[in-house]
Structure 1
Amino acid sequence: MAFSTQELHHLHRNHPASYSATTAPPPTPSTQSNCLSISTAADDLSRLLHRLPPTLSLPRRLSPRTISPPLISLSPQNNSNNILSSSSQLGFFQLSNHLIPSQLALSAELESLSLFDLPTDKKQHFFPKNWPLGFDEDDEDDGDGNGMSLCLSAHCPSESTELNLSSLTQFARALEKVGLEIVETISKAGGFDNPLRFEGSSCPWSSLVWVSEGVAGNKPVFNGRFYPYVVALQYQIRCRKYSLLSDSGWVSVSPEVDSVLVTVGDIAQVWSNGKLKKVRGTAVASLGDDNKSRCISISLLVTLPLESTISPILPSAVTVDGDDNDNTSAGAGGVEEVEGGGEDEKEGEKRPAFKLFSFEDYAWRVYHERHLFKDPLDRYRV
């Protein structure tokens, strides 16, 4: 349809913005659709972020959370409920009234410091590497600040007559006695037989003295290698913070002076069929930012002989009416095998949460590999 010149002038005068040469054309359906899509996506993203649980938010601090370990008296009555509760909820606690003299701990520390002051050739001569025994200076320079560590047998720290380690030996045996008492208490309270009860000709446990240097800075790290154990004990000579890796993550603890810090290990967790929490490795002394301070920590590890096997120790199954059900039998290495069951499994029967495995293979793996982000027991879970 053609317009005359007068009609065009009339239209332009009444609607100048609609037909101006410099005005942008109205949005087409495609551009409107793109704008709506972007707006809708932004709204959806905003709603998603608001629905995220608090646990998925970024941490506000990198330092480990601080926990005060429960202080439990090692009385003749063995306060088993508190020990079991702390072992099940945290995996660590501190003991008082343990009867270990503080002067003995100081003498053992001085003897240990003298070992770290030895020249390298003397260290290799007196303490040759015989896995897991001997000095470990951590050849990998990974910037984590891992220091030197020394592993000794609790009953025979050194065969050399040139070294006097009488205080360290006596101190280790005193800690071992407390550790075996703790294992007995946890076993009774947890409802399973104590595998370390001496009933045969061979000793069912092995005790190692683990001496390591403190780590400068506030960053929690593994201090050298670590070794699987049932329980580990550290006497607190002075007020100092420690970092430890529990099942709930890195934790900072400050035990009381003259108490014994007890950590539950991976072997105890398997024995309890996962009921007990554990600590990976031993507690590492933190020196803060003071690089001039010198500190070593002495841990007594109650562990197993290399030829041992590990598996859950399940109590006899109990039927609904409370009668004992004798359908369990001990397998190799103390494993309990439940017969029958299936989908019609009776109430009260328990199934193992871990497979039976070789202690030597497991110990070699956790000692030589750095399991910082993955639990080494995961491969054995049922």
Structure 2
Amino acid sequence: MASSSTQDHQQPFPTSAPPPTPSTTTLSSTSDSAATDLLSRLLHRLPPSLSNSATTPLLLRRRSSLSTTTTSPPIISFTDVKSSILSNLPCFFISQLGFFQLVNHLILPELANLAESDSADIFNLSTHQKQQYFPRHWPLGFDDEDEDEGDADSVFLDSVCSTESTELTLSSLREFTKEMNKVGLAVVEALTCALGIRCPGLDDPGAVNSLMWISDVNNDLGEKMVGSGRFYPYVVGLHYQMRKQCCNLLTDTGFVPVSCEVGSILVTIGDIAQVWSNGKLKKVRGKPSLSIEEGGNNATLSMSLLVTLPLESTVSPLFPRAEIGGTNQTENHEKDVQEETTRERRFNSFSFEDYAWRVYHERVPLKDPLDRFRNKL
């Protein structure tokens, strides 16, 4: 793998939380970034009642700017996902939107419904049981640390949905996660191939990680407010559409309300994919926020499969392939291509762990968290 290097893959995630403050990166923060970080930290130090009143107007102003027209994401068929993405990548809907919906995949609605039922069983447990069965080893485990601030309760599971419980089988959720992971890896491979960049070793079990993020937004605030809640960086996110329900996406151009076909998979391109593509792809920040209507029969469980990276990874733009007539160039020519790409890179390299820790714990959506790593070309 050319630019997301890893060191040791014996464990996909650490068994203890990293220091509360990310280590200093080689890139100096601009005064603009420093001011944003200071404001974010000040807001999070406020008491919950004041913190909510400070952030709520911002979120509501963002929500009021939403278009009244709901977007139906463009459709890609999974039966030939590589050629479909390759032929459509130059078009507006992938390179400029940052999301699309995937149809003709092999994940049956029955399996998705059973997985949702397994997920509901998790949130029907007492808080003590959830903490016992899903201990917190950041980013994995049960998280209700900020429920006073209106965040949804969430559980973060690895690709095999590990649990300390012998009572919860979660067999359907495990199978669903496994099948979603296959789809996610296929989409990542199709995107990197279409971009002409080096595929990041998807056949290497340690090259990427998958994380199943399940949230229960059935509370007073939760994800009713657009943009609230946690944010974890990823390459692509997959969100199975089990029913007709609108959701909101935070893109580079603002909030977008979308509605997908029942049974399709909403695919969101993440911040890591934007860096890998050297800025060619637009992204969705975080995962979709469900639109909760007053008095409506709304689903409150949100299940998202994130194809992400091991914490020890370094993130930077991926180098393009050096090919002529389908054959690889010489080593010297490839080195020249890499040096040229380095001069034109739009992002500096950065530690994935530091970045993930920062964006997960500083959630006020004041600016794009990738801005601190952008080169001023």
By the TM > 0.5 criterion, same fold?
yes
Select the residue among 372, 375, 378 that pairs with 2:365.
Answer: 372
Paired with 1:294 and 1:61, the residues of 2 have a C-alpha distance of 20
Asked if 1 retains the 8 angstrom alpha-carbon contact of 2:224 and 2:290, the reply is: no
Distance between the aligned counterparts of 1:183 and 1:370, measured in 2? 26
Determine the C-alpha separation between the residues in 2 that align with 1:311 and 1:371. Answer: 25
Q: How far did 1:161 drift?
A: 1.7
Structure 2 letter corresponding to 1:372: P
Residue of structure 2 in register with 1:75 after alignment: 79
In structure 2, C-alpha distance between the alignment counterparts of 1:110 and 1:120, rounded to whole Å: 18
Question: Aligned to 1:198, what secondary structure does the other structure show?
Answer: coil
Q: Distance in 2 between matches of 1:371 and 1:249?
A: 14
How far the C-alpha of 1:293 sits from its partner, in A, is 4.4
Is 2:182 aligned against 1:177? Answer: yes
Secondary structure in structure 1 of the residue aligned to 2:110: helix
After TM superposition, list the pairs within 5 Å mapping 1:249-268 onto structure 2.
249-268=254-273
Task: Report what 2:123 is aligned to.
Answer: 116
| Equivalent position of 1:214 in the other structure | 217
Residue matched to 1:33: none
Cα shift readout 1:198-243 (whole Å, capped 9, x = no counterpart) = 25xx521101000112377896433531210000001100000011
- 2:351 is aligned with 1:358: yes
C-alpha distance in 1 between matches for 2:300 and 2:63: 26
The amino acid that maps onto 2:350 is F
Q: CA deviation at 1:159?
A: 3.6
Report the Cα offset of residue 61 of structure 1: 8.1
Letter of the 2:124 partner, please give it.
D
Structure 1 Cα separation of the partners of residues 258 and 373 of structure 2: 30
For the Cα contact (< 8 Å) 1:146–1:223, is it kept in 2? yes
1:3 match: none
Does 1:147 pair with 2:152? yes
Name which of structure 1's ranges 64-73 and 176-185 shifts more when overlaid on structure 2: 64-73
2:97 maps to a residue whose letter is L
Q: Which runs of 5+ in 2 are unaligned?
A: 1-60
Secondary structure at 1:298's aligned position in 2? strand
Pairwise CA distance, 1:77:
5.7
Distance change (3 Å), C-alpha of 1:101 and 1:364 = same
Q: Which runs of 4+ in 1 moved over 6 A?
A: 215-218
Gap change, CA 1:294 and 1:102, over 3 Å in 2? closer
Deviation track 1:53-81 (CA, whole Å, cap 9, x = no partner) reads xxxxxx99815223210011112363122
For residues 75 and 60 of structure 1, what CA distance do their matches in structure 2 show?
Answer: 37
- Structure 2 counterpart of 1:21: none
Give yes or no for contact 1:274–1:353 (8 Å, CA) kept in 2: yes
Structure 1 residue 138, shift from structure 2 partner: 4.2
What residue number does 1:92 align with? 99
- Counterpart residue identity of residue 380, structure 1: F
Q: CA deviation at 1:279?
A: 0.6
Q: 1:61 to 1:211 in 2, by over 3 A?
A: closer
1:115 is matched by which residue type in structure 2? I
1:67 partner amino acid: T
Q: Secondary structure at the match of 2:294?
A: coil
Distance 2:126 2:343 in 1: 54
TM-score by length of 2: 0.74
Deviation at 1:160, TM superposition (A): 2.2
SS in 2 for 1:67: coil
Distance 1:68 1:220, change over 3 A: farther
State whether residues 140 and 156 of structure 2, in contact with CA within 8 Å, keep that contact through their aligned partners in structure 1. yes
Which structure exhibits the higher relative contact order, with contacts defined as CA atoms closer than 8 Å and separated by 6 or more residues?
Answer: 2
Matched AA of 1:106? N
Higher helix proportion: 2
1:193: which partner in 2? Answer: 198
TM-score, length-scaled by structure 1: 0.73
Equivalent in 108, 114, 138 of residue 131 of structure 1: 138
**Equivalent residues of 1:220, 1:250 under 8 A apart:** no
Q: Which amino acid aligns with 2:118?
A: E
Distance 1:101 1:324, change over 3 A: same
In structure 1, C-alpha distance between the alignment counterparts of 2:280 and 2:355, rounded to whole Å:
20
Distance 2:81 2:121 in 1: 39
Q: Is the contact between residue 122 and residue 130 of structure 2 (CA under 8 Å) also seen in structure 1?
A: yes
Q: Which runs of 5+ in 1 are unaligned?
A: 1-58, 331-335, 340-347
1:294 is displaced (CA, Å) by 4.6
